[in-house]
């Protein structure tokens, strides 16, 4: 399914990513092929990704594969480097705190700097498909705005609150080489890696040789 016309920003408005979520997500993943997930320690996860410059059929296929991979891993967001691709693009299929489902894709995302009055921190637990079976509390703003381009190269902006805001920040971090455990204290990071070592991923991963 092509990107909806309603996903284009008009006069600075945010995209509408809450309509026909089930049908759009299904269309993406039915065209895609699920790929294994890269995990912490893989070099592609620890460096800034390359900008997307070609908005072509190859990018469209990558996005389809990312939606398929996200569903297989039962995630709510997935960055391209989590399936080993060095490009700034992430997909999401994530509810906010009101239970409203948001589904979409963004290339070359950049987070807005929030004014002080919008920086209300939420210290809920956070997890990551690239750090399987591990969770840790991490304070992040409960509101986020990310700007970038859609799959055709047109400018878009996405607004998120609550859990969805966390998702937008988490996935943008990935594309700049940062995992959520990199924001933890040394002790908390060690604990998360221990959880990972003791757990068994529920999806296929790429082992680090």
Outline where DSSP puts E strands in the chain. Answer: 37-38, 77-79, 89-95, 101-111, 121-122, 125-128, 131-137, 140-141, 143-149, 155-161, 205-206
- CB count in 10 Å sphere of residue 183: 17
3-state secondary structure of 57: helix
| Cα 122–chain centre separation | 18
Give the SS3 label for residue 121: strand
Q: Among 69, 135, 66, which Cα is nearest to 104's? A: 66
- Per-residue tokens: 33: 């092929």
Pairing of strands 121-122, 125-128: unpaired
**193 HSE (CA, 13 A, CB side):** 13
- Is 128 part of any known ligand binding site? yes
**Cα first-last separation, the chain:** 38
Is 170 labelled as part of a ligand binding site?
yes
Positions annotated as catalytic residues are 171
Specify which residues 131 forms β-bridges with.
Answer: 128
Binding residues for Fe cation: 128, 170, 174
């Amino acid at each position: 399914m092509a990107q909806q016309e309603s996903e284009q920003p008009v006069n600075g408005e945010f995209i509408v990513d809450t309509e026909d979520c089930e049908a759009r997500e299904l269309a993406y993943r039915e065209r895609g092929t699920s790929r294994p997930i890269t995990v912490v320690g893989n070099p592609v996860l620890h460096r800034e990704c390359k900008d997307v410059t070609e908005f072509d059929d190859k990018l469209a296929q990558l996005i389809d594969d990312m939606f398929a991979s996200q569903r297989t891993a039962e995630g709510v967001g997935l960055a391209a480097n989590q399936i080993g691709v060095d490009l700034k693009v992430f997909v999401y299929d994530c509810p906010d705190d009101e239970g409203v489902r948001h589904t979409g894709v963004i290339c070359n995302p950049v987070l807005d700097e929030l004014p002080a009055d919008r920086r209300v921190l939420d210290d809920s637990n956070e997890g990551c498909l690239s750090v399987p079976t591990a969770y840790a509390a991490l304070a992040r703003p409960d509101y986020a705005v990310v700007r970038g381009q859609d799959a055709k190269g047109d400018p878009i902006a996405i607004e998120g609150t609550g859990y969805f805001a966390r998702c937008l920040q988490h996935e943008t971090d990935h594309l700049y080489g940062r995992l959520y455990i990199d924001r933890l204290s040394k002790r908390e990071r060690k604990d998360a890696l221990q959880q990972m070592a003791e757990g068994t991923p529920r999806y296929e991963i790429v082992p680090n040789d």
